[in-house]
Amino acid sequence: MKSRSQGGFSLLEMMIAMTIMLMLMGVVTTLLSKSLGIRARESQKTDALTSAQAALNVMSREIANSGFGIYQGSNARLGSNGLVIADSTDSQIHFRSNIYNDGPVNTTNSVLTTNDPGEDITYFFDGNTNSIVRFDPNDTPQTSVVVNRISSVTFTYFDYSGTSSAGTQTTSATTDTGRVQISERVQLDAVQGQANPNSVQFTSQVTLRNSCYMLNQY
């Protein structure tokens, strides 16, 4: 004769098991969410690093050539850093260089024309599009975006007099400027579960090789 009593779980045991299962699932979900958030954050940082570093390389290379082939005075041939002082501030930089070494010569400046592409450049930050813009009136197109998703860009100038290595930091260019610092800040998008806002800053210092200070070092 078969027994009518059969083994099984009671309602209380089922509820306890379900509670434990839900708690474990909550822990796993939290860990997975944090893991995905960290991955998204690091992916953004990688993209920001790549784009911002590429922009710094482009700007640094062209700014370093500022003043190339341009000298003040036909006899003394004093160096010119090529910076257009009136247009070079903490938010933009305008510089000239005679890359192709052409143009007329007179007693005040060895070159009067910098009309070839790449010889008259302005970099500035466009807050409407969060991008660094390059303007070249002699190129086609005249305006191009160097990098986007940038929160700010700041230009800092260091002035040197004679052979002194003690530079004076300024927010605008002068005839004594021998070094320029470029600072970019990238504001990352908010990531769920991470500390926000999160930003990354990149800095590069560029020596103007044709400035009087640099020429006096050799």
Domain assignment present for residue 25? The answer is no
The rounded distance, in Å, linking the Cα atoms of 97 and 95 is 7
Residue 104, preceding peptide bond in cis (omega within 30° of 0):
no
Q: Which domain does 45 fall in, by range?
A: 34-215
Domain annotation covers residue 203:
yes
In a domain, 7, yes or no: no
Distances in Å between the Cα of 136 and the Cα atoms of 67, 121, 122, 140 are 16, 5, 7, 8
Q: Give the predicted TM-score (pTM) of the model.
A: 0.74
Query: Is 193 inside any structural domain?
Result: yes
Q: Is residue 167 part of a domain?
A: yes
| 3-class DSSP string for the chain | CCCCCCCCCCHHHHHHHHHHHHHHHHHHHHHHHHHHHHHHHHHHHHHHHHHHHHHHHHHHHHHHCCCCCCEECCCCCEECCCECHHHCCCCEEEEECCCCCCCCCCCCECCCCCCCCCCEEEEEEECCCCEEEEECCCCCCCEEEEEECCCEEEEEEEECCCCCCCCEEECCCCCCEEEEEEEEEEEECCCCCCCCCEEEEEEEEEECCCCHHHHCCC
9 within a domain of the structure (yes/no): no
Q: What is the pLDDT of residue 133?
A: 94
Sole residue written with tokens 């530079």: 167
Task: Say how many C-beta atoms besides its own lie within 10 A of residue 93's C-beta.
Answer: 26
Token pair belonging to 166: 């003690």
Pairing of strands 78-79, 198-207: unpaired
Domain total for the chain?
1
Residue 8 included in any domain: no
Tokens of 122: 């302005």
Burial label for 32, CB within 10 Å (0-12, 13-18, 19+), is exposed
Residue 11 lies in a domain: no
Each of the 218 residues of the chain gets a pLDDT tens digit; together they read: 555 555 666 777 778 878 888 888 877 777 777 776 666 666 666 766 777 888 888 899 999 999 888 877 655 567 889 999 999 999 999 999 988 877 766 555 555 678 889 999 999 999 888 889 999 999 999 999 988 878 889 999 999 875 566 778 999 999 889 999 999 888 776 666 666 667 778 899 999 988 887 777 66
Can you name the residues that pair with 109 across neighbouring β-strands? 72
